Amino acid sequence: MNEKAQNSRNREDRRYFRIQDHIGISYLILTDAEYHSRKIASQYAEIPALDELSEIEQQLELLFEKVKIRTPEVAEMGKLLNQKLKILVNNSGIAEGLTHAEDIPEQLVDMSAVGMALGVNEAIDTGQYLEIHMVLQSGRQYLKLLARMVNCEEGYEGAEADSGRFSHTARVEFINVSERIQEFLIQYVVKRQSAQIKAKRNPGLTPIDKMTW
């Protein structure tokens, strides 16, 4: 097998690497007309840049973790000031039009670059089109993907089974994904997998959700 063919096969294999990861996730059920109106744009979508406030927020969180070890009072004061600024921003016109990642509920999902299994609280027909909104770890990257329901089974045995939050387990495949976002998802899954392995080997060294890649 030549080098080009080998690289192509390796990339294809990585598309199916699976991880369990806490992400922010919500979805919309689409009509056929809504799906067809979105699919062309989805095929050419770029990876959205983080807005400036989200980038600053990420840097602050990393600094808080470092400062907390040496001077916890200063870190706590910094967090309170940050919360005050958030309140001021949210009650002004500055935040209008920004993605509020904290408004997207978080759950533990089983995901790869081509699809995922997640908990839902309704029965959804096989073949149904969905629009998936995801906030990933590592910078709280926001993605909007089209998906198709593979199956939706009654019952949920995931990490939050005891909470009664979900009544069904849904398995979806991502469709009409642009090449850039597909590659981003591949890299995300591979690197989050690596970060999770490191965290297991060195428990307590670095919080898993603060690990950069």
3-state secondary structure 31-65: CHHHHHHHHHHHHCCCCCCCCHHHHHHHHHHHHHH
Q: What is the pLDDT of residues 142-158, one digit of tens each?
A: 899 999 999 999 998 77
Please give the Cα distance from 116 to 183 (Å, whole number).
Answer: 16
Which pLDDT score is estimated for 8? 58
Looking at per-residue confidence, does 211 or 85 come out higher?
Answer: 85
H/E stretch holding 4 reads helix 3-14
For residue 133, is pLDDT > 90?
Answer: yes
Q: Top-level CATH class of 12-49+100-202?
A: mainly beta
> pLDDT tier at 211 (50, 70, 90 boundaries)?
very low
Q: What is the pLDDT of residues 62-91, one digit of tens each?
A: 677 777 778 888 878 887 887 776 676 556
Q: What is the mean pLDDT of residues 31-36?
A: 95
Q: Cβ distance 109 to 23 under 8 Å?
A: yes
Residues across the chain: 213
DSSP 161-185: GGGT--SEEEEEEEES--HHHHHHH
Q: What is the mean pLDDT of residues 31-51?
A: 85
Looking at per-residue confidence, does 194 or 122 come out higher?
Answer: 122
- Averaged pLDDT of the chain: 79
H/E stretch holding 116 reads strand 115-120
